[in-house]
Amino acid sequence: MGKMKKRKKWLRSEAAWAWGMMLPGLLVLTVFVFWPLIYSLPLAFTDYSVVGEMKFVGTKNFERAFSDPDFIASLTNSIQYVLVVPVIQMASMAFAVALNQKIRGVKVFRTLYYFPVVTSTVAVSIVWSWLFSSGGLVNQLLLDAHIISEKVNWLSDDSTALWVLMFITTWKGVGYYMVIYLAGLQSIPGELIEAARIDRAGTLQIFFKILVPLLKPQVVMCSLLSVMSAIKVFDEPFVLTKGGPGNSTLTASLYIYQNGFQNFDFGYAAALSLILSVIILFFSLLVNAYNRRK
Amino acid sequence: MRKWDKKKIIIVSLAVLGTAVLGAGCGKQQAAGGNAQETIEFWTISLQPTFNDYFETLFSEFEKENPGVTVEWKDYPKDTIQEKLLTAIASGNAPDVVNVNADMALTLGKKNALANAEEYISDEVKDSFFEGIYEAARVDGAMTALPWYTTIPVIYINEALLEEAGIPTDNYPSTTEEFYNWAIDITEKTGLYGTAMEANIREILGSAGLPVFNGDYTELVINTPEAVKVIQQFQKLYDTEANPKENLDQEARAQLYSSKQVVSVYSGTTFVNKFKTTAPDVYENTAVIPVPFKSNVSTTMYLSVPQESKNRELAFKFAEYVASAESQLSFSKTANTLPSTKATVEDPFFKESDGSLEAEIKLSAVASLTKAVETPVPQHILDKVNRDLQDILFNGKDVQAGLDQIVEEVNKQLQEQ
Amino acid sequence: MKRNVKKIVLYLILIGISILMVGPFVWLLLSSLLPNTNVYDFPNNVRLENFSISNFTGVFEFIDFGSFILNTVLISGSSVLLNALLASLTAYPLAKLNFKGKNLVFTIIISAMIVPATAAMVVNYLTITKLGLGDTYLGVILPTSVTIINIFNMRQGFLSVPDSIRESGKMDGASEWKIFTALVMPMVKPNLAVVILFQFMASWNDFLWPMIVLNDTGKYPLSAALTMLNGQFAYNFGWVAAGTVLSIIPTLVIFVLTQDMFVDGVSGANKG
Summarised one tens digit per residue, pLDDT across range B101-153 is 999 999 999 888 999 999 999 999 999 999 889 999 999 999 999 999 999 99
pLDDT of B4 above 60: no
All domains in chain C, ordered by first residue: 26-271 (1.10.3720.10)
pLDDT of B391 above 70: yes
A-facing residues of C in 102-141 (CB < 8 A) are 102, 105, 108-109, 111-120, 122-124, 127
Q: Considering chain C, what is the average pLDDT of its residues?
A: 87
- Least trusted range by pLDDT, from A112-126, B86-100, B393-407: A112-126
Over the stretch B212-258, which tens digit does the pLDDT of each residue have? Answer: 999 889 999 999 999 999 999 999 999 999 999 888 888 889 989 99
The C-alpha of A150 sits at a distance from chain C's nearest C-alpha, in angstroms, of 21
Cα–Cα distance for residue pair B51/B58, rounded to 1 Å: 11
Q: What are phi and psi of B47, to 5 degrees?
A: -115, -15
**B-chain residues near A263 (CB < 8 A):** 107, 378-380, 417
**B-chain residues near C42 (CB < 8 A):** none
Helix, strand, coil shares of chain A, percent, nearest 5, are 75, 0, 25
Shortest CA distance from A132: residue in chain C? C24
Percent of chain C with pLDDT over 70: 95
Look up residue B146 and give its amino acid: L
Whether the Cβ atoms of residue C34 and residue C51 lie closer than 8 Å to each other? yes
Percent of chain A with pLDDT over 90: 43
Cα–Cα distance for residue pair C252/A112, rounded to 1 Å: 9
A-facing residues of C in 236-265 (CB < 8 A) are 240-241, 244, 247-248, 251-252, 255-256, 259, 262-265
The C-alpha of C48 sits at a distance from chain A's nearest C-alpha, in angstroms, of 23
**Nearest alpha-carbon partner for B318 in B110, B141, B137, B58:** B58
Q: Do the chains contact at A263 and B246, CB–CB below 8 Å?
A: no
How many residues are recorded in chain A?
Answer: 294
Over the stretch C215-253, which tens digit does the pLDDT of each residue have? Answer: 888 899 988 888 888 777 777 888 888 988 988 888 899
The C-alpha of C248 sits at a distance from chain A's nearest C-alpha, in angstroms, of 6
**Nearest alpha-carbon partner for A203 in C11, C19, C1, C10:** C10
Q: Considering chain B, what is the average pLDDT of its residues?
A: 88
A-facing residues of C in 168-227 (CB < 8 A) are 176-177, 180, 190-191, 193-194, 197-198, 201, 205, 223
CB-count burial class (<10 Å; 0-12, 13-18, 19+) for A15:
middle
Cα A289 to Cα A224, A279, A284, A285, B147, distances in angstroms: 12, 15, 9, 6, 59
pLDDT of B285 above 60: yes
Percent of chain A with pLDDT over 70: 96
Look up residue B76 and give its amino acid: Y
Q: Which residues of A touch B (CB under 8 A)?
A: 47, 49-52, 64, 68-70, 126, 129-130, 133-135, 153, 155-158, 240-248, 250, 258-259, 261-265, 268
Cβ pairs bridging A and B (under 8 Å): 105
When CB atoms are compared, the residue of C39, C135, C231 closest to B31 is C135
Report the sign of the C-alpha dihedral through residues A227, A233, A236, A242, in that order: positive
Over the stretch B54-65, which tens digit does the pLDDT of each residue have? Answer: 999 999 999 999
Cα C234 to Cα B82, B275, C201, distances in angstroms: 21, 12, 27
Helix (H) or strand (E) holding B66: none
Q: Considering chain A, what is the average pLDDT of its residues?
A: 88
When CB atoms are compared, the residue of C37, C138, C207 closest to B20 is C138
- What pLDDT is stored for residue C127 in this prediction? 92
Q: What is the pTM of this model?
A: 0.87
pLDDT of B26 above 70: no
The C-alpha of C52 sits at a distance from chain A's nearest C-alpha, in angstroms, of 21
When CB atoms are compared, the residue of B31, B86, B279 closest to C40 is B279
Whether the Cβ atoms of residue C252 and residue A111 lie closer than 8 Å to each other? yes
The C-alpha of A230 sits at a distance from chain C's nearest C-alpha, in angstroms, of 12
SS3 B194: strand
Cα–Cα distance for residue pair A128/B389, rounded to 1 Å: 24
- What pLDDT is stored for residue C66 in this prediction? 85
CB-count burial class (<10 Å; 0-12, 13-18, 19+) for B244:
buried
**C-chain residues near A178 (CB < 8 A):** none
Cα A274 to Cα A43, A56, A282, B86, C90, distances in angstroms: 10, 17, 13, 22, 27
Cα–Cα distance for residue pair C149/B31, rounded to 1 Å: 35
Shortest CA distance from C61: residue in chain B? B49
Task: Region of C46 please: left (phi>0), alpha (psi -120 to 50) or beta.
Answer: beta
Over the stretch B28-74, which tens digit does the pLDDT of each residue have? Answer: 444 433 444 799 999 999 898 889 999 999 999 999 999 999 999 99
Whether the Cβ atoms of residue C71 and residue C221 lie closer than 8 Å to each other? yes
Ordered by start, the domain boundaries in chain A are 71-120+158-293
**Nearest alpha-carbon partner for B44 in B75, B85, B83:** B75
Q: Domain A71-120+158-293 class?
A: mainly alpha
Higher pLDDT, C217 or B208: B208
Find chains touching chain B: ≥3 CB pairs under 8 Å.
A, C
- What pLDDT is stored for residue B251 in this prediction? 84
Q: Do the chains contact at C89 and A22, CB–CB below 8 Å?
A: yes
Shortest CA distance from B85: residue in chain A? A51
Shortest CA distance from B258: residue in chain C? C40
A-facing residues of C in 42-71 (CB < 8 A) are none
- What pLDDT is stored for residue C144 in this prediction? 92
Q: Give the bridge partners for B195, in sequence order.
A: B264
pLDDT of A81 above 50: yes
Q: Do the chains contact at C97 and A260, CB–CB below 8 Å?
A: no
Whether the Cβ atoms of residue A155 and residue B247 lie closer than 8 Å to each other? yes
- What pLDDT is stored for residue B89 in this prediction? 87
Q: Do the chains contact at A131 and C177, CB–CB below 8 Å?
A: no
Over the stretch B289-309, which tens digit does the pLDDT of each residue have? Answer: 999 999 999 999 999 999 989
Cα–Cα distance for residue pair B102/B378, rounded to 1 Å: 9
- What pLDDT is stored for residue B365 in this prediction? 93
pLDDT of B2 above 50: no
Higher pLDDT, C141 or C239: C141
Cα–Cα distance for residue pair A15/A3, rounded to 1 Å: 17
pLDDT of A294 above 70: no
The C-alpha of B176 sits at a distance from chain A's nearest C-alpha, in angstroms, of 25
Pick the CATH number of B154-298+359-416 from 3.40.1190.20, 3.90.580.10, 3.40.640.10, 3.40.190.10: 3.40.190.10
Whether the Cβ atoms of residue B325 and residue B113 lie closer than 8 Å to each other? no
- What pLDDT is stored for residue B34 in this prediction? 40
Q: Do the chains contact at C228 and B49, CB–CB below 8 Å?
A: yes
Percent of chain B with pLDDT over 70: 91
Confidence grade of residue C1 (pLDDT, cut at 50, 70, 90): low
Cα A21 to Cα A27, B120, C180, distances in angstroms: 11, 59, 11
SS3 B310: coil
**Is B281 in CB contact (< 8 Å) with chain C?**
yes
Whether the Cβ atoms of residue C144 and residue C202 lie closer than 8 Å to each other? yes
The C-alpha of A24 sits at a distance from chain C's nearest C-alpha, in angstroms, of 7
- Least trusted range by pLDDT, from A209-218, B121-130, C175-184: A209-218
Round to the nearest angstrom and report the end-to-end CA distance of chain A: 53
Residue ranges, comma separated, of all CATH 3.40.190.10 domains in chain B are: 37-151+299-350, 154-298+359-416
When CB atoms are compared, the residue of A36, A127, A175 closest to C124 is A36
- What pLDDT is stored for residue A271 in this prediction? 93
When CB atoms are compared, the residue of C62, C81, C212 closest to B16 is C81
Fold classification of B37-151+299-350 is D-Maltodextrin-Binding Protein; domain 2 (3.40.190)
The C-alpha of A206 sits at a distance from chain C's nearest C-alpha, in angstroms, of 17
- What pLDDT is stored for residue B22 in this prediction? 45
